[in-house]
């Protein structure tokens, strides 16, 4: 679908005629890089149903999955311009634009998924959602993205030493470039849609992601070694274009927020199911999974990364508040 990038509205209209179109009076177009059926796609569809009910059919949502509206970095700009109404996207590609998003994207900042939920569901999460307003976006809710680990086509990684000199794709974020470099690897930022062929042709040795993405992207077909070092627990975010938001009545804005919040537990349920299913599929395909890995050297190697990116009092305060969250 990469070839559709930039065709914009015309392509979207054409595509929408081939999809299940909401009958709502105003249909919000929402972007997702993942295929139909992926937990994030299903959660935004679910939100759309709730929204349609809450607004008596004034508002609905149509999800353009599978990167039909473009790769994540490009769709951020389109959402800021209001060409796309809504976007479900990892926090990673926001790192270079919205500095607060760097904090929950720091390697090993969260001790567990439960810790991440506790933080993002509370006042710290709200502060980070509020930060989108200064960038022509309205932050609506956070979704789960599991934990991300390294996979590659070359060899099993059993310690940090094995990463030396290996080329890994990262999301388009300077933070992740530094993370891989601090671990001894070579980072190549690139759009998600280019990763499969880049591993296949040897442009890169591997990448890093969670079970559902590793599986649904088919990357496991070309990268037969997966090491569960779990360096990132990056939440995903659902945002709305500020220009779209401003067109809505106060009542409809409240309905949008309520519907987004209601989709979070639904998403988490789907996520847990999908994680298990993806893991089973990847294991059945014969991928070599390394689970026994000492994370301590990985965690220690992140000190210069924190020093480089956590520079302002605001970011330092966010880090301290996250670390103090029990
Ligand atoms: C996935 C995430 C996507 C995208 C992708 C990537 O886990 O859900 O939004 O960011 O990773 O690595 O580009």
Residues 79 and 213 placed together within one structural domain of the fold:
no
Answer whether 209 contacts ligand 1 (Cβ < 6 A). Answer: yes
For 93, the domain range is 2-145+234-276
158 and 175 in a single domain? The answer is yes
15 shares its domain with 161: no
CA of 95 from ligand 1 middle (Å) equals 13
Q: 164 and 312: one domain?
A: yes
Listed in sequence order, the DSSP H helices in 248-312 are: 250-284, 296-300, 303-309
Instruction: For residue 316, report the distance from its CA to the centre of ligand 1, in Å.
Output: 26
Q: Are residues 256 and 107 in the same domain?
A: yes
Q: Which CATH number goes with the domain that contains 217?
A: 3.40.190.170
Residue identified by tokens 């880090």 is 319
Would you say the CB of residue 41 lies under 6 angstroms from ligand 1? no
| Regions of the chain with pLDDT less than 70 | 1-21
| Ligand 1 atom 5, closest CA | 192
pLDDT reported for residue 116: 98
Let me know whether 196 and 71 are in one domain.
no
Domain count, the chain: 2
Burial of 243: CB neighbours in 10 Å, binned 0-12, 13-18, 19+: middle
**Does residue 89's CB lie within 6 angstroms of at least one atom of ligand 1?**
yes
Atom of ligand 1 nearest to the CA of 40: 8
| Of residues 322, 314, 306, the one with CA closest to residue 121 | 322
- Is residue 46 domain-shared with residue 93, that is, in the same domain? yes
Query: What distance in angstroms lies between residue 293's CA and the mean position of ligand 1's atoms?
Result: 24
Q: Does residue 191's CB lie within 6 angstroms of at least one atom of ligand 1?
A: no
210 lines ligand 1 (CB under 6 A): yes
Nearest C-alpha to atom 4 of ligand 1 is from which residue?
Answer: 90
Atom 1 (ligand 1) nearest CA: 213
Verify whether ligand 1 is closer than 6 Å to residue 170 (CB atom): no
Query: Of all protein residues, whose CA lies closest to atom 13 belonging to ligand 1?
Result: 192
Task: State in Å: Cα 90 to ligand 1 middle.
Answer: 6
Residues 6+ apart with CB under 8 A from 160: 183, 184, 297, 298, 301
pTM, whole model, 2 decimals?
A: 0.93
- The CB density around residue 286, as the number of other CB atoms within 10 Å, is 8
Does 214 lie in the same domain as 287? yes
CB of 92 sitting under 6 A from ligand 1: yes
User: 209 C-alpha to center of ligand 1: Å?
Assistant: 7
* Alpha-carbon span 238 to 111, nearest angstrom: 23
Top mutation candidate among 209, 214, 232, 239 for ligand 1, by most atoms within 8 Å of CB: 209
For residue 213, the CA-to-ligand 1 centroid distance in Å is 7
State whether 129 and 176 are in the same domain.
Answer: no
Q: Could you tell me if 154 and 302 lie in one domain?
A: yes
Regarding whether 11 and 90 lie in a shared domain, the answer is yes
Q: What is the pLDDT of residue 23?
A: 86
pLDDT reported for residue 10? 44
DSSP 130-193: HGGGGGTEEEEEEE----EEEEESS----SGGGGTT-EEEE-S-HHHHHHHHHTT-EEEE--GG
Is the distance from the beta carbon of residue 33 to the nearest atom of ligand 1 less than 6 Å?
Answer: yes
| 202 in Cβ contact with 266 (< 8 Å) | no
Give the 3-state secondary structure of residue 288. Answer: strand
Q: Does 160 lie in the same domain as 309?
A: yes
DSSP string, 200-263: HTTSSSEEEE-HHHHHHT-HHHH--EEEEEEEE---EEEEEEHHHHHHS-HHHHHHHHHHHHHH
């Amino acid at each position: 679908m990469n070839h559709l990038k930039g065709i914009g509205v015309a392509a979207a209209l054409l595509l929408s005629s081939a999809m299940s179109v909401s009958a709502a009076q105003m249909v919000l177009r929402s972007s997702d890089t993942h295929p139909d059926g992926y937990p994030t796609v299903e959660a935004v569809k679910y939100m759309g149903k709730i929204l349609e009910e809450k607004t008596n059919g004034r508002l609905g949502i149509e999800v353009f999955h599978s990167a039909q509206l473009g790769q994540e970095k490009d769709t951020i700009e389109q959402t800021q311009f209001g060409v796309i109404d809504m976007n479900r996207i990892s926090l990673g590609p926001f790192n270079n634009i919205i500095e607060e998003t760097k904090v929950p994207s720091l390697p090993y900042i969260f001790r567990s998924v439960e810790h991440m939920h506790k933080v993002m569901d509370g006042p710290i999460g709200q502060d980070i959602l509020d930060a989108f307003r200064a960038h022509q976006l309205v932050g609506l809710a956070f979704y789960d993205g599991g934990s991300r680990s390294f996979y590659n086509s070359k060899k099993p990684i059993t310690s940090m030493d094995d990463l030396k000199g290996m080329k890994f794709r990262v999301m388009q974020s300077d933070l992740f470039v530094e993370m891989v470099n601090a671990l001894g690897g070579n980072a190549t930022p690139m759009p998600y849609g280019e990763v499969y062929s880049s591993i296949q042709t040897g442009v890169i040795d591997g990448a890093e992601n969670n079970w559902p993405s590793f599986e649904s992207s088919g990357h496991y077909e070309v990268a037969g070694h997966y090491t569960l070092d779990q360096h990132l627990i990056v939440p995903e975010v659902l945002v709305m274009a500020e220009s779209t938001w401003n067109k809505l009545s106060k009542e409809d804005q409240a309905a949008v927020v309520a519907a987004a919040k209601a989709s979070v537990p639904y998403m988490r349920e789907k996520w847990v199911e999908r994680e298990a299913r993806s893991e089973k599929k990847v294991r059945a395909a014969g991928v070599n999974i390394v689970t026994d890995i000492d994370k301590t050297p990985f965690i220690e190697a992140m000190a210069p990364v924190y020093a480089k990116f956590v520079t302002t009092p605001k970011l330092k305060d966010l880090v301290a508040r996250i670390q103090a969250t029990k």
